[in-house]
Amino acid sequence: MSINSVQVEGNLVAEPETKATGTGRTVVKFTIAENVRVKDSATNEWKDGTPNFYDCEFWPNDPQYWLKRLGKGVGVVIFGRLTQDKWEKDGQKYSRIKIIVEKIISKWLPELQAIAPKAEEKAPDFTDDIPF
């Protein structure tokens, strides 16, 4: 049995991008950055550590709903799973790890209220099958 689960808190580094597939599905792609604070043992002060950047793919039923709520600088907590892309270009092999996002919530309460669907809006369905 394999457990593949990830949770990351960070901020979007740019506006999300969308891409339509041949089957009519739309993927929302974005990158988030997270930064862990570390204590400098010499000065005993807390400082920002090295930021980490995570490429993310989200396959919601209603991408426009999410595009209205996600943007550069928005703080989020994402839940999902890791996957690896592999490709070859000019004889060179490449790979990268990305997060397939299954759920998004906000880090701050006012944004959380904005992201929570209103009664008249269709709530996003997180049970979609992720195409491979």
Could you tell me if residue 24 is inside a domain? yes
Could you tell me if residue 120 is inside a domain? no
Does the pLDDT of residue 89 top 60, yes or no?
Answer: yes
Could you tell me if residue 16 is inside a domain? yes
Could you tell me if residue 1 is inside a domain? no
What CATH number should be reported for the domain holding residue 93?
2.40.50.140
Q: Compute φ and ψ for 6, nearest 5 degrees.
A: -140, 145
Could you tell me if residue 37 is inside a domain? yes
Does the pLDDT of residue 100 top 60, yes or no?
Answer: yes
Expressed as residue numbers, the domain containing 110 is 6-115
Could you tell me if residue 121 is inside a domain? no
Q: CA 67, CA 86: separation in Å to the nearest integer? A: 28
Count of domains forming the chain: 1
Taken in order 23, 2, 107, 11, the sign of the CA dihedral is negative
Could you tell me if residue 129 is inside a domain? no
DSSP state letter for 32: E
Could you tell me if residue 122 is inside a domain? no
Mean pLDDT of all residues in 12-25? 91
Does the pLDDT of residue 112 top 60, yes or no?
Answer: no
Q: CA 48, CA 52: separation in Å to the nearest integer? A: 11
